[in-house]
Amino acid sequence: MIECGGKTEEYREIKPYYERRLLPLSGERFTVILRNGYRENAPTITATATVRVGEGRQEWGAEKGKKYYILTLNDVKVSRVV
């Protein structure tokens, strides 16, 4: 869904792990790399992103009424290593 442009946000639970990594980036654009699995040749998406706290969209996997760190993705590039 991200690759074809149908999904423009990625969600992360509000936990200390992400708090340390994402809150310092609030209000800034940064590069994020998302991998589909742990294989060496796993498909990878690189994008610029911004982060905010809010409720995510259920159709994209968020739970109703739950707050998340929301990564808004821009300039998405897909890498497929064979």
For the chain, the domains span 9-79
CA distance 27 to 56: 18
In this predicted structure, the answer to whether residue 82 has a pLDDT above a threshold of 60 is: no
CA dist 82 to 5, 42, 43, Å?
23, 9, 9
CA dist 76 to 15, 25, 27, 47, Å?
26, 19, 19, 4
Please name the amino acid found at residue 77: K
CA dist 55 to 29, 46, 67, Å?
20, 23, 5
12-69 pLDDT, tens digit per residue, is: 999 999 999 998 998 899 999 998 888 888 889 999 999 999 999 999 999 999 999 9
